Amino acid sequence: LGVLATAELLQDADFSPNLAESMRDRLERAYKFAIETLEKTPQKGEEITLTTPDKWALSRLQGHIKLATEAMDNLAIRKAIHSALYDLDQDFQWYLRRIASEREALERREAFAKVFNEVLDAQVRMLAPMIPHICEELWEEMGGEGFVSLAYWPKPDEAKVDIKAEENETLIMSTLEDTLNIIKATGLKPKKICYYTSTQWKWHAYLKALEMAEKGSVKLGDLIKELIGKPDLKKLAQVVAKYAQKMVEVVNVMPSESRQRKLEVGAINENNLLSEAQAFFKREFNVDINVFSEDDPQRYDPKNRAQLAEPYRPAIYVE
């Protein structure tokens, strides 16, 4: 694995004993975690309620299977390893981090079992050509029939691709990162953190800008004219124009694929999403977390941060 992960076929491998030891340690940790988890993972029930992190993990899995398959078809072994091992592991570690406080809850065990079993099954099948011995051991522990080396290569399940879940989880990740950056930059020791989500008209303006950009480069004048045409926005003309200018700059440089995904998802209920993730943020920062809508008249906002809220980028106040 140390040789294959450093270079593609016919390229010189940058092998080193340290890399081999690192690989061995990584595989031993993964093997131990898999065995321990398999021992206490319940059988999957018929009806399982999946949360956003569950759907996100299963959706991302399909993408990793697709990329690894394409790489193997082209004999790009190094690329396949990165998708099947590094990238998939990185996603699964985030998933474990997200559900840390829920994982042992009785009502969540079956959902975790479903995600874990599907991830492990696909990963063992994909890594078997590169690390056959440990994959055969895991395959037997999983109850797989025969040898994994003779099992079918996994296929991505398009029915499990959930763009909305992926976009929702991306918002959680970026909010966490933005909060950490604020704390690092200010040197504050947080006592309270408040998140403010965008008002509905900003979402309307954002999606309209994306829609216009997909038809060609969006122009500021055209966007403002489109927005001010709505009676409820006409009275906010000055604020809308300023916001529209920023949106034009954002969407014109956004990759077309990202625009299409966001248009497909539409407006996200960020207030509900962040409220559902309050326990996660509280565990990460060890302080009280408050979520408010920008247009909530009862919000706690001593620094008037709410007006800075944008779609996919809630405003943040650290006290």
φ, ψ at 192 (rounded to 5°): -160, 145
Mean pLDDT over each residue of the chain, to the nearest integer: 92
pLDDT score recorded for residue 260: 94
Kind plus residue range of the DSSP H or E element containing 293: strand 288-293
Side-chain-facing half-sphere of 17: CA atoms under 13 Å: 0
C-alpha distance across the termini of the chain, in Å? 48
Q: ∠220-222-228 over CA atoms, to 5°?
A: 95
pLDDT of 292 strictly over 80: yes
pLDDT score recorded for residue 227: 87
pLDDT of 285 strictly over 60: yes
CA-based radius of gyration for the chain = 23
pLDDT score recorded for residue 105: 67
Cβ atoms within 10 Å, residue 121: 18
pLDDT score recorded for residue 153: 97
Q: DSSP 3-state assignment of 318?
A: strand
Confidence class for position 304, pLDDT limits 50, 70, 90: very high
Q: Which of 67, 71, 115, 125 is nearest to 92 (CA)?
A: 115
Query: Which residues, 6+ apart, have CB-to-CB distance to 170 below 8 Å?
Result: 312
pLDDT score recorded for residue 22: 92
pLDDT score recorded for residue 103: 66
pTM: 0.91
pLDDT digits (tens, 9 = 90+) for 85-140: 999 999 999 999 999 877 666 678 888 999 999 999 999 999 999 999 999 999 99
User: How far is residue 91's CA from residue 96's CA, in Å, rounded to a whole number?
Assistant: 9
pLDDT digits (tens, 9 = 90+) for 230-270: 777 877 888 889 899 999 989 989 999 999 999 999 999 99
Strand-pair category, 288-293 with 192-197: parallel
Q: DSSP 3-state assignment of 196?
A: strand
pLDDT score recorded for residue 104: 60
User: How far is residue 309's CA from residue 300's CA, in Å, rounded to a whole number?
Assistant: 14
Q: Which of 137, 119, 127, 149 is nearest to 23 (CA)?
A: 127
pLDDT of 215 strictly over 60: yes
User: How far is residue 163's CA from residue 168's CA, in Å, rounded to a whole number?
Assistant: 8
Burial class (CB in 10 A: 0-12, 13-18, 19+), 221: exposed
pLDDT digits (tens, 9 = 90+) for 173-195: 999 999 999 999 999 999 999 99
Which of 11-25, 134-148, 299-313 shows the lowest per-residue confidence on average (mean pLDDT)?
Answer: 11-25
pLDDT score recorded for residue 10: 85
Average pLDDT over every residue of 268-291: 96
